[in-house]
Amino acid sequence: MDILYLPELGHFALILALVMASVQAIFPLAGSLTRQPLWLAYAQPAAWAQFVFLGISFLLLASSFLLDDFSVVYVANNSNSALPWFYKLSAVWGAHEGSLLLWLLLLAGWTFAVSLSKGLPADVLGRALSVLGFVSVGMLLFVILTSNPFDRYLPRIPTDGADLNPLLQDPGLAFHPPLLYMGYVGFAVTFAFALAALWSGKLDTAWARWSRPWTSVAWAFLTAGIALGSWWAYYELGWGGWWFWDPVENASLLPWLLGTALMHSLAVTEKRGLFKSWTLLLAIATFSTSLLGFFLVRSGVLNSVHAFANDPDRGLFLLLLLGLTIGLSLLIYALRVPNLKAKAAYSLLSRDVFLLANNVLLVVATLTVLLGTIYPLLMDALNQGKISVGPPYFNALFVPQMLLLGIFMGLGPLSDWKSMQWSKLKRKIWLAGLLSLLLGFAILPWIYDGSWSLAVALGLTLFLWIATTSIRDIWEASRGKKGWKGISRSRWGMMGGHLGAALIVLGVTMVSNYGEERDVRMAVGEPVSVKGYEFTLVSLGQRQGPNFTADTAVVEMRSDEGKLLKTFTPEKRLYQVRGMPMTQVSIDWGPLRDVYVAMGESLDDQAYAMRIHYKPFVRWIWWGGFIAAFSALLAVTDRRYRIRVPETAPAEAGTSRQQG
C-alpha cells in the first residue's frame, strides 16, 4: 500500500511547494509596501520549505519510476519494466511533465542558495526572493493545472510502460537536460537581483557585484549543457552534424548569447559604474529569452523535429505566464529606471568601449537568431504561406558577426579601463596580430591542406588572434609582484573562457572547410575511398538486442599502403516497443580528426547505403565549450567573491564606486 500512495504524496508535496512559493512571493511584497521589514524575512524560510517540498515531490516521482508504478500516466508513457535502473532515473526528466518538475526543483535549489548567501542586505534579499517566488508560483501553477506528472491511470492500470524514447537511452542525454536547465534557471537569479534593484531604487553598482558570480555559474552550466547536447546530436542522431539551427537549439542559443553579453556588461557596470540601465535590461532579457525558448519549444508554435507534443491549452497558459513575467518586468524597468547620466568618462579607445562593442554584437546576433527562428511563425500569422528558414540564413549572418566579435575578444583583455593611448595598445597587440596574420592567414592553411581559402584563413587567424592575446594577457599578469601566483582566478577564468572560444573557432573552421561527408553505396568487398582512406564493407549481418533488432555491418578502414587502421561496427537498430529506427554510429576518434561511419538504408542483400564522414578537429568544438564552462566556474571561486564584507573588496571596485 505504501507504493500506491506515493504519487498522491508527491502531488500533495507539489501543492505545499506552491503554498510556500506563494508565501515567499507575497510576504516580502506586502512587507515592503506596508513598511514591515519583518515580513521581508518570511521569504527565507519559505524558500527553504519550497525547496524541501519540491525535493520530496521529485524523489517520489523518481521512486514511482524505480518501482515501475505504471498506474502513473507519466511513468507508463516513459518507462518500461525492462529499462535499466539508471535510465529509469533519467526518464524522470525524459518528457514534458517530469522535465518541468526538474526545472522547478533547480529553481528552488538556486533560490535556496541565494537565501543562504551572506553579505546581502536583508531588504534586497527579501525582494529578490520574492521575485523568484513569483516565477516559481507561475511555473508551479502550470505544472499542477496542466502538466501534472502524478496523474494516474485508473481503474485500468497498464501492465507495462511504453518505454523511454530510445534516443534518450544514452548517458549523454541523461545529463544534458539538468545542465541546460541549471543554466536557464540560473539566469532567474540575476533577473531577480535586477528587479529587486529596480524595485528598491538602489541602483548602485552593488547589485552588479552580487549578480556576477550567479550569472557566471548559470552561464557555465548553460555552456556545458549546449556542448553536451551538440556532442549527443553528433553521435546519436547519425547525421554527423554538430549544430543544425533547429528551433530547439536556437532556443538554447538565445539566452546563451545574451548571457554572454550580460557577463561582460556586468563587469563594466561593477568596475566602472557604466551602462547601468543597459545591464539591467540585459539581465531581464536574458531570463526572458530562457522563458521564450521554453514557450517556443513546448507550445508547438514552431515546427521542429525536436518539439514536444502540441497542446493548445498548455500553450495559452505558458503564453500568459510569459506575458506576465516578461511584460511586467519590462514595464517595471521602463517606469523605474532613472534617467541615468553616465558620470564616468571614457574614451573611444578603452576596454569600456570594446566591451560595449561586444554587447552590441551579441545582441545583434541574438536578434538575428530570434528573427530566423520565429520568421516562419510571423509569415504564417501574416498569411504569407508556410516557409522555413534554412541554415544558410544563419550562417550568412551569424558567422561574420562572430568574426567581428572575435576581434574585440582579443582587444578587450589587453586594453585598459576608461582610456588608453593608441601607442600603448599597439605595443601590446602587435606581436599577437602579426603572429596570427602570418601564421593563420598565410602559412597554416598551406601547411594543412596545400591550398588556401579565405574562410580557412580568416578562421585560423581569428583562432590565433584570440589565443595569443589571451596568452599575452596572462603573461602580462604574471609580471606582477607575486608572479604567476599573484594572478587572480577571475583572470585565469577570463583567459580560459577566451581560449575555449578560440578552440571552438578552430574546430568549427576546420570541420566546416575540410570535413568530408560522403553518402555511398557500399557493396560487400568493394572498396570505397574517402579522404585518402580506403573503406571496405567486410560483411553485413543481423543481431537481436535486448529490446531491439539490428542490421550490423563490419567496415574496415585502411591507409594508402593497405595497413588496417580501424574496424568499424555500425548498426541500424529497430527498437520494438516503439517501432523506432535508430542509427548506431561507429567512430574512430582522435584529436586531429574523427572518422565516422553510419548505416543508412539497406539496398540489397550485399549492399548498404552508408555515411562516411571525415571530421577534422570536430572534438575541439566541445572541448572548447567545456573549457569555457570550467573557466567561468573557476572565475567564480575568486577570493573577492568570497569576501563577505563589501568594504574589503579590491581597490579596483572601490575606486569605481567613487567614479560611478
Q: What does each C-alpha distance from 154 to 57, 75, 151 come to in angstroms?
A: 21, 14, 9
516-523 sheet: strands from edge to edge: 516-523, 607-616, 593-604, 586-588
Nearest CB to other proteins, comparing residues 51 and 184: 184
3-state secondary structure of 167: helix
- Residue 11: which residues within 8 A CB-CB, separation 6 or more? 57, 148, 150
Radius of gyration of the chain (CA): 27
Contact 108, 181 (CB under 8 A): no
Instruction: Report the nearest approach of other proteins to the CB of residue 378 (Å).
Output: 6
Nearest CB to other proteins, comparing residues 201 and 591: 201
Nearest CB to other proteins, comparing residues 565 and 603: 603
Amino acid, single-letter form, for residue 231? W
Q: Helices 454-477 and 391-414, interaxial angle, to 10°?
A: 30
Nearest CB to other proteins, comparing residues 358 and 468: 358
Instruction: Report the nearest approach of other proteins to the CB of residue 90 (Å).
Output: 9
Task: Kindly state the cell numbers that stand for 151.
Answer: 496523474
Task: Kindly state the cell numbers that stand for 638.
Answer: 575568486
Nearest CB to other proteins, comparing residues 578 and 640: 578
336 vs 198: CA distance, rounded Å: 6
Determine how many CB atoms are found less than 10 A away from the CB of residue 250. 22
Q: Which residues pair with 587 in a beta bridge?
A: 596
Instruction: Report the nearest approach of other proteins to the CB of residue 249 (Å).
Output: 8
350 vs 358: CA distance, rounded Å: 13
Of residues 526, 551, 544, the one with CA closest to residue 536: 526
Nearest CB to other proteins, comparing residues 347 and 529: 347
Nearest CB to other proteins, comparing residues 291 and 477: 291
22 vs 649: CA distance, rounded Å: 36
3-state secondary structure of 488: coil
Instruction: Report the nearest approach of other proteins to the CB of residue 184 (Å).
Output: 8
Instruction: Report the nearest approach of other proteins to the CB of residue 108 (Å).
Output: 19
Contact 274, 344 (CB under 8 A): yes
Q: Which residues pair with 523 in a beta bridge?
A: 607
Instruction: Report the nearest approach of other proteins to the CB of residue 348 (Å).
Output: 6
Instruction: Report the nearest approach of other proteins to the CB of residue 41 (Å).
Output: 32
Instruction: Report the nearest approach of other proteins to the CB of residue 146 (Å).
Output: 10
Contact 474, 608 (CB under 8 A): no
Per-residue 3-state assignment (H helix, E strand, C coil) for 408-424: HHHHHHHCCCCCCCHHH
Nearest CB to other proteins, comparing residues 308 and 630: 308
Instruction: Report the nearest approach of other proteins to the CB of residue 373 (Å).
Output: 12
Instruction: Report the nearest approach of other proteins to the CB of residue 608 (Å).
Output: 10
Nearest CB to other proteins, comparing residues 201 and 579: 579
Of residues 127, 135, 148, the one with CA closest to residue 198: 127
Nearest CB to other proteins, comparing residues 374 and 502: 374
139 vs 133: CA distance, rounded Å: 10
